[in-house]
Structure 1
Amino acid sequence: MSETNTLAAFYAFSGGAVWLLGSLLFIGFDKVNTQANRWLAAFYCILACTFTQLFLEGFEIGGGFLIHLLELPRWAMLPCLYMAVSHYASPSLPKKDWFLHFVPFLLFLVFSLVYLMPDLFNEQNHLPVLPPWIRFLVRYFFFGQTVYYWIVCFTLLRRHQKNLKMVASFTEKIDLEWLRYLLVSVLFLILIRILSISNIHVTYYSPILYFLGIILLAYSTLTQKSIYAIEPYRPAEKDETAPKKAMNERLTVEQVEELNDIVMRKTVGEKLYLDPSLTLSVLSAKIGISTHELSYVLNNGLGKNFYQFVNELRTEEAKSLLLSEDTKHLDMLGVAIRAGFNSKTTFYTTFKKATNLTPKEYIKANSAAS
C-alpha cells in the first residue's frame, strides 16, 4: 500500500467514527435533547457520506453513480447543523420555516434526478458535461452555504448565551459551552477544506487533519449536558427590544425610579438574591410586577441585566461572609452557596470582576488593613 493510500485510509476512520456518532445520537443516548440530537445525527450522517466518498475516490473504488449518490445530500448538511443548534438554543420556540433551509438541496436533488443521474447509468458511467455557470454553482455554492450557516449557528449560540443573562442568575449548566467547542471543531474542518484547495501540503495531510477534527467533534458531542428549561422565554430581540417602545410610552422617569426603589427594597431587604435558583420570572412574581417591567427597570434604571444585578448583590453578601467570624469554618464553596451562588465558578468569576481580587486575596487584603 502506497503512502498516499495509507493517508487516504484516515478517511475511512473519520467516516466510521462519524457514522457511529450519528447512530448514537439518533437512537438517543440523551433522552432530553432528542429533537436537537436527531438533527445533529442527520448532520453527522451526511458528513459521514462525504468522508466515505473521499475514501472511495482515494482508493478508486466504486463507480460514478455511487460517488454521486454519496455527494447528493451534501447541500442539506449545514442546514441540519443549523436546525440542531436552533433546537439546542431555543427548544421551546416553534421552527415554522425550517423547510426553507432545505430548498437548495431539494432543487439540487431534482436537478440530479432529471439531468445528471440518468447519464450515470449509460456505458460511460460519468456525469454529463455541464455549462460553466452550472459547474461554478455546483462547485462553490456549498462553500458559501457552509460559511453562511456556520456564522448563523455561532450567532444563534452567542444570542442564546446573552439571553440567559436576561433571565437567569446562573448559566454554567445551560450555557451550551460544549456546543461552542463543537462549532469550533466544525470551523476547523471548514478551514482544512479551504486551505487544501490552495496549499498542497495541507491537501496531502488533510486526511489526518480531518480525523483530528472528528475527534474534537466527538468529544464535544459526547460531553453535552441535558437541556432543562429554567423558564420559558423568548429571544432578547422579541422579549427585550420589542416592548421597549411600549415601555417608554407607559413608564415615566418617575415611575421607573419608583419601581427601581421597589425592586431594590424587596430584593435586598428580603435577601431574595440568596435563592440560588432565582430567575427573572421568579423575582418578578415575588416583587409583584411583570417580567417585562422588571427587565426594563433593571436595564434602564440600573443599567444592568438580571445576571449582573443578582450576582453583584451576592458578591456583596460574600464580602461580608468572608470577613465574618461566624463563617470562618466554611470553605469557599460553602461561602459561595451561603451567598446564593449556584457554583464556585460563578462565585470566583463574579467576585474577581467586582473587586479585582480573588476571595482569598480579599480576605488577606482586609485582614492586613485591619
Structure 2
Amino acid sequence: MERVIYTLVWAAILQGLLLGMLYLLSNKHRSRANSILGFFILAFVFEAFTFVPVEDLWGYPTGGYFTLPEVKMLFPVLFLHYVLEKIGRAHHYLYFLKVHYFLAFAVIAITPLNIFLFVFRGETIYQLLDFQTVEGVFMTMQYYAFVLTLVGMALAIREIQNYKTLVKNTFSDLAMLQIRWLWQFVLGVSPIVLVWGLELGRIAFGGGGGSDVTSFTWLLIIIFIYFLSYKAYQQKTLWQQPPGPAGKYGNRKDPHAETDHKDYAALGQKLEGFMESTKIYNQHDLTLHELSKAVDISPRLISGCINRHFNNNFAEWVNGFRVDAARSKLEDPAFNHLSVEGIGSDSGFKSRSAMYAAFRKLTGHTPGYFRRE
C-alpha cells in the first residue's frame, strides 16, 4: 500500500511539474494569468514533494525548519493574484500583492541562507539560534500564511461575485464559463485550507509531531494537482482570457474593437445560415461548446460574435431562432393539430415556462396570441 501511495505522489509531482511548466513556457497558452497559475501549480508540486521522506541530501539535513524552501506564504498570494488577474482586477490590489510577495520570498530566502551556512561554516541556523526561536518564527509564518489564505479566499469570492454581476449584464458566455471555473478553483482549494487549519489548531492546542491530518493535507494537494490537469485537458478555453467584459472590468481598452466588428459581421452571417440550415436550435440542451463543435469555430469567436455583433448572450440568441420557428408553426393552420407546448418542444424549448418567458421577452405576447384557428 505504501508503494502505491508513493507511486501516486511521484506521478502527481511529475504531472504537476509538466503542467506548471506548460503554462509558464508555452507560447500557445502565454498570458499573465496562466504564468501565475503555472507558479501556483509548481508551488503545490514542491509541497507535495516534501511528502517523500528524504532525511538528507549529501549530508545536508532536509527534515528541519527552513532546511527546504517554505512556499506556504506563496499559496495565498498566487491564489488571489490568479483570480484577480483572470477577471482584470489585479491592478486594484497591486500594493497588497507586492507586500505579500516580498514577505513570501523573504521567508523562502531563509533556506538559501541556511544552505550557505552549512556549506561554508558547517552549521545551520539551529547553531546560531536556539530551537525555540526557530520554531517560533516558523509557526508564526504558518499562522500568518493561513490567515492570509482566508483573507485571500474572502477577497477572491467577493471579486468573483462582483464580476459575475457585471458579466451577466454584458452578455459574455465565455466569461460565464470562466466564472464557473474560478468557483471550481476556489472550491478545489477549500478542503486543503480546511485540513491545514485543523492541523494548525491541533498544534496550537499542544499537539506535537506528525499526524494523519498532515498526511491527508498532502493527499488533498495531490488530488488538486490531478484536478487541475483534468480541467486543462477537458476545457482548453478556460485558459483563454474572456473577450470584452474582462477588459471593461479592468478599465482596459480593447485595441481590436474595430477590426473585430468587421470580422464578427461576416461570422454572424455564417452562424445564422448554419442555424437556419441545420435547425440545431431544436436541441433542448444546446450549449456553446456543442455549437462550436458542429460549426467548427472556437467558442471564443462564437461568444464574441454573439456578444458584440448581435448584442446578446448565447441563450437568448438561440431562443430567438426557437421563437421564430415556433411562431411560424403557430401561424400556420397546418399545425393546428399540435398543442402550443408540443410546438414549443419541437422548436427546442425545454419547458412550457421557458417558451412563454422567451415569447414575452422577444414579442411582448404569449405563444397563444399567434395561434390561428
Taking structure 1 as the reference length, the TM-score comes to 0.58
- Which residue in the other structure is 1:102 paired with? 101
The correspondence of residues 278-293 of structure 1 with structure 2, limited to 5 A, is: 279=307
Tell me what 2:155 maps to. Answer: 152
Looking at structure 2, the residues matched to 18 and 353 of structure 1 have their Cα atoms a distance apart, in angstroms, of: 49
User: Does residue 223 of structure 2 align to residue 212 of structure 1?
Assistant: yes
Letter in 2 for 1:322: A
1:188 to 169, 186, 191: 191
Deviation at 1:75, TM superposition (A): 1.7
CA shift digits 1:173-196 (9 cap, x unpaired)? 654422322232222333343445
Distance in 2 between the 1:193 and 1:92 partners?
26
Letter in 2 for 1:157: I
Distance 1:107 1:85, change over 3 A: same
- Give the deviation of 1:60 after TM superposition: 2.8
Deviations 1:212-266 (A, max 9, x none): 2321122223424122423575449x99xxxxxxxxxxxxxxxxxxxxxxxxxxx
Unaligned runs of 5+ in 1: 240-274, 284-305, 337-343, 356-362
- For the 8 Å contact 1:315–1:351, the answer to whether it is kept is no
| TM-aligned CA deviation for residue 38 of structure 1 | 0.7
Give, as a single letter, the amino acid of the residue that structure 2 aligns with 1:14: A
Show the counterpart of 1:53. 50
* Equivalence for 1:302: none
- 1:110 Cα shift? 5.5
Partner of 1:266: none
Residues 1:38 and 2:52 are matched in the alignment: no
SS at match of 1:74: coil
Percent of pairs identical after alignment? 11
User: Which position in structure 2 is the counterpart of 1:84?
Assistant: 82
Deviation at 1:163, TM superposition (A): 1.4
Relative to structure 1, the CA distance from residue 218 to residue 195 in structure 2 (aligned partners, 3 Å threshold; closer, same or farther) is: farther
Assess if the C-alpha contact under 8 Å between 1:15 and 1:52 holds in 2: yes
Q: Is the aligned partner of 1:229 residue 2:227? A: no
Q: Using the alignment, how far apart are the partners of 1:332 and 1:228 within structure 2?
A: 33
Change beyond 3 A, Cα 1:15–1:168: same
Counterpart residue identity of residue 84, structure 1: Y
Q: Name the CA distance, whole Å, in 2 between partners of 1:332 and 1:201.
A: 57
Contact 1:13 1:211 in 2 (8 A): no
SS state of the match for residue 324, structure 1? helix
Partner of 2:18: 20
Q: C-alpha distance in 2, partners of 1:65/1:59?
A: 7
SS at match of 1:71: coil
Please give the alpha-carbon distance, in whole angstroms, between the structure 1 residues aligned to 2:194 and 2:172.
36
**Secondary structure of the equivalent of 1:54?**
coil
Q: 1:34 Cα deviation (Å)?
A: 1.7
Pair 22,70 (structure 1): closer, same or farther in 2 beyond 3 Å: farther
Measure the CA separation in 2 of the matches of 1:64 and 1:207.
Answer: 21
Match of 1:141 in 2: 144
1:177 to 177, 180, 192: 180
Go from structure 1 to structure 2 and tell me whether the alpha carbon gap of 1:41 and 1:136 turns closer, same or farther (over 3 Å shift): same
Letter in 1 for 2:41: Y
Q: Residue 362 of structure 2 corresponds to which residue in structure 1? A: none
Seen in structure 2, the aligned counterparts of structure 1 residues 180 and 29 have a Cα distance that, compared at 3 Å, is farther
CA contact (8 A) 2:199 2:213 kept: yes
State the 1:39 CA deviation: 0.9
State the distance in 2 between where 1:19 and 1:110 align. Answer: 22
Structure 1 residues 49, 168: closer, same or farther in 2, change over 3 A?
same
The partner residue of 1:324 within 324, 328, 335 is 328
Note if contact 2:20-2:38 (Cα within 8 Å) is conserved in structure 1: yes
Q: Give the alignment's Cα RMSD to 1 decimal.
A: 4.9
| Contact 2:9/2:222 (8 A) holds in 1 | yes
8 Å Cα contact 2:36/2:78 also seen in 1? yes
Say if 2:19 and 2:41, in contact at 8 Å, map to a contact too: yes
Q: CA deviation at 1:42?
A: 0.9
2:86–2:241 Cα contact (<8 Å) kept: yes
Tell me, in whole angstroms, the C-alpha distance in 2 between the residues paired with 1:165 and 1:185. Answer: 24
What's the CA shift for 1:50?
1.3
Q: Which amino acid aligns with 1:52?
A: F
Structure 2 gaps of 5+ residues are 203-209, 253-301, 336-342, 359-365
Q: Conserved in 2, the CA contact under 8 Å of 1:322 and 1:335? A: yes
Aligned residue identity for 1:227: Q
Instruction: Tell me the alpha carbon deviations over residues 37-81 of structure 1, each in whole angstroms, 9 at most, x when there is no partner.
Output: 1111111112211112221xx243433369746423432233123
Shift of residue 164, structure 1, vs aligned partner = 0.5
Cα displacement (A) at 1:23: 1.0
The one-letter amino acid of 2:55's match is: E
Contact 1:167 1:280 survives alignment (8 Å): no
